Structure 1
Amino acid sequence: MEFRTQVTVVPRVNGDPVRTTVSPRTTLLDWLREHRGLTGIKKGCNEGACGACTVLVDGLRMNGCLTLVAQCDGREITTVEGLSPPDGSLHPVQRAFAEHDAFQCGYCTPGQLLSAVGCIAEGHAGDEGTVREWMSGNICRCSAYPQITAAVLAAGEGERR
């Protein structure tokens, strides 16, 4: 069995292909922050329990701290920096978070936003209980859960129109 000290992968980050050579053990979280300069993704618990590092990989919610860059070859990675359209307007979920005051300190907000986008896309934004269950992997230490839930429901309603 051969152990390689470096692997080359080409993920798409926020729509742009990025060729990179990394250690096979490099997490997506560390690579995005330290090598791509995308600091919206946050390091919270570093063990997949808080959701601060949530990104979308091929549209699915993933914890960046538990995902290796080597797993992302050819896959689309969306970070909070890639949510807004090129014209600079807010994504509907970002707009709903602002309208419902769904953030306090802001540390969890990038992960909450991406998790909300995934939750809505997965069809789990129909009622308060379902939103709370499907967003439960994202912790907000400021306890803005009622506002976050309201924002996800509002953004989900906009998607269903």
Structure 2
Amino acid sequence: MHFTINGQRHEADVDLRTSLLDLCREHLGLTGSKKGCDHGQCGACTMLVNGRRINACLSLAVMHQDDEIVTIEGLGQVGNLHPLQDAFVRHDGYQCGYCTPGQICSAVGMLDEQKKGWPSYVSESLTDSELTDAEISERMSGNICRCAAYPNIVDAIREVAGKGDRQPVLEAAKEIGA
């Protein structure tokens, strides 16, 4: 099978039942994306496929041979971080770091969805494009952080989305129900 991952072509001879996550981690050495629950519930495995975020543990690799796949390794490099990677570091949007690659990939996809005008469950209208803390929290709800770095994650995403001012941590925690 042939894949384009992080802008590079890869060939792999894998079982048809191999998930995209296992292809990347076990066969291509791209271990940034994590296997958390392996049931699509935690978001640690989130990758971007054709610009859309997916749970790579639930998607068969064979389905993505003609797709553009981006993992956390494809977003930035040491010394040249993606803006979200940089904001996560500056806002301490991680603690143990296990969920961070999935959180960042999900945030990249989420910001693109929001820019395209896709509403979320908490959008006040179908034409509302304001990215409030409640919107960020709802749109990121598929990504779990066991260390509870949610207020800092929201701060990092808000900054990259152009809403730079940091709310007090307690206020942000209240917004997401922490």
* Alignment TM-score, normalising by the size of structure 1: 0.88
Q: Structure 1 segments of 4 or more deviating over 3 A?
A: none
| 2:18 pairs with 1:26 | yes
| 2:123 pairs with 1:118 | no
Q: Deviations over 1:104-159 (max 9, x none)?
A: 0000000001001111111177110011001000000000001001111111118x
> Percent sequence identity over matched residues?
51
Aligned partners of 2:79 and 2:151: how far apart in 1? 28
Aligned partners of 1:97 and 1:44: how far apart in 2? 20
Aligned counterpart in structure 2 of residue 63 of structure 1, from 34, 46, 55: 55
For 1:119, give the aligned amino acid: M
| 2:139 pairs with 1:147 | no
For these two proteins, the number of residue pairs brought into alignment is: 149
For 2:112, give the aligned amino acid: A
Offset at 1:88?
4.0
Q: 5+ residue gaps in structure 2?
A: 116-129, 164-178
Q: Please say if residues 12 and 27 of structure 2, whose CA atoms lie closer than 8 Å, have aligned partners that are also in contact.
A: no
Q: Secondary structure at the match of 1:141?
A: coil
Q: How well do the aligned residues superpose, as a CA RMSD in angstroms?
A: 1.5
Offset at 1:21?
2.4
Show the counterpart of 2:9: 17
* Alignment TM-score, normalising by the size of structure 2: 0.80
Aligned partners of 2:112 and 2:136: how far apart in 1? 12
Offset at 1:19?
2.2
Q: 5+ residue gaps in structure 1?
A: 1-8
Q: Deviations over 1:57-85 (max 9, x none)?
A: 11100111001100101111111111016
Aligned partners of 2:68 and 2:159: how far apart in 1? 26
